[in-house]
C-alpha cells in the first residue's frame, strides 16, 4: 500500500516529479518541474524511471492522489520505489503552492468528471430509449455493471477510452513522450 507524502515547495528539488495524468490534464496545470508520463505508459517508461530513481526519490503526482497511488504500486511491482503526493495537484494548489501552466493552454475537465458525465449520459440515454424500446434499458444496465467492475478492480476502461479523445491529448507545444523519457534517463 502506498503512503502519501506531503512535500513543501522548498523540498521539491529533492525529487524527480512525475505526473501520471493525461497530457491534456497536465497542460491544464502541474507541479513545477514535473515530467508527464501518463499512468497507462508507466511500463514503457520503466527504464528511464529506474535511472531517475537512482539519482533521487521519485514523487508521483496526479489530480487527487488516486492515480499516483496506483502508479506507485505499479512501479513497486517493477522494483522502482516511488512516493505519492498527498492530495495531488489539487491539494498542492489548494495549499497555495505554485502550479505551472503553458501560456494559452486549454484546461479539460478532470478525468473523473469526464467519466461521471459520460456514464451518466449513457444511463439517461438508455433509460429514455428504453421507454420507447424496452431492450434499450440494457444500455443502462451495462453501464452500471461497468461501474461496479471498475470499483471492484480499481480500473476504469471508460477513462482509458476518454483519455484518447482529442481534448485530452497533448497540445502542439507539449514535450513529446520520447523526449520526456530522455530527460528522465539523462
CATH number (domain holding residue 31): 3.40.250.10
Q: How far apart are CA 65 and CA 110, in angstroms?
A: 13
- The answer to whether residues 59 and 134 belong to one domain is no
46-73: b (≥16 Cβ within 10 Å) or e? bebbbebbeeeebbbbbbbbebbbbbbe
Q: How far apart are CA 117 and CA 102, in angstroms?
A: 27
Burial degree of 98 (CB within 10 A; 0-12, 13-18, 19+): exposed
- The answer to whether residues 158 and 175 belong to one domain is no
User: CA 71: distance to chain centroid?
Assistant: 9
- The answer to whether residues 59 and 91 belong to one domain is yes
Considering the chain, what is the average pLDDT of its residues? Answer: 87
- Count CB atoms within 10 A of the CB of residue 75: 24
- The answer to whether residues 85 and 17 belong to one domain is yes
Q: Which value, to the nearest 10 degrees, does the dihedral of the CA atoms of residues 52, 84, 69, 42 take?
A: -20
Q: Tell me, yes or no, if the pTM score tops 0.75.
A: no
Q: Give the C-alpha distances (Å, rounded to integers) separating 104 from 25, 27, 171.
A: 14, 10, 10
Q: Print the domain residue range for 90.
A: 4-105+171-185
Summarize pLDDT for 130-176 with one digit per residue, the tens: 999 999 999 999 999 999 998 888 788 898 888 888 877 766 666 77
pLDDT class of 34 with cuts at 50, 70, 90: very high
Question: Cβ contacts of residue 101 below 8 Å, gap of 6+?
Answer: 27, 28, 29, 30, 107
Amino acid at each position: 500500500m502506498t503512503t502519501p507524502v506531503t512535500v513543501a515547495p522548498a523540498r521539491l528539488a529533492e525529487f524527480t516529479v512525475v505526473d501520471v495524468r493525461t497530457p491534456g490534464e497536465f497542460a491544464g496545470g502541474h507541479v513545477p518541474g514535473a515530467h508527464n508520463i501518463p499512468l497507462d505508459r508507466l511500463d514503457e517508461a520503466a527504464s528511464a524511471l529506474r535511472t531517475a530513481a537512482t539519482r533521487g526519490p521519485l514523487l508521483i503526482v496526479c489530480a487527487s492522489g488516486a492515480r499516483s497511488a496506483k502508479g506507485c504500486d505499479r512501479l513497486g511491482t517493477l522494483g522502482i520505489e516511488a512516493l505519492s503526493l498527498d492530495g495531488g495537484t489539487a491539494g498542492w494548489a489548494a495549499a497555495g503552492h505554485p502550479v505551472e501552466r503553458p501560456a494559452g493552454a486549454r484546461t479539460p475537465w478532470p478525468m473523473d468528471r469526464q467519466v461521471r458525465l459520460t456514464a451518466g449520459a449513457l444511463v439517461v440515454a438508455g433509460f429514455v430509449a428504453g421507454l420507447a424500446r424496452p431492450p434499450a434499458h440494457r444500455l443502462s444496465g451495462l453501464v452500471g455493471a461497468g461501474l461496479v467492475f471498475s470499483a471492484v478492480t480499481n480500473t476504469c476502461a471508460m477513462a482509458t477510452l476518454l483519455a484518447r479523445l482529442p481534448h485530452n491529448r497533448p497540445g502542439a507545444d507539449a514535450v513529446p513522450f520520447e523526449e520526456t523519457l530522455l530527460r528522465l534517463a539523462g
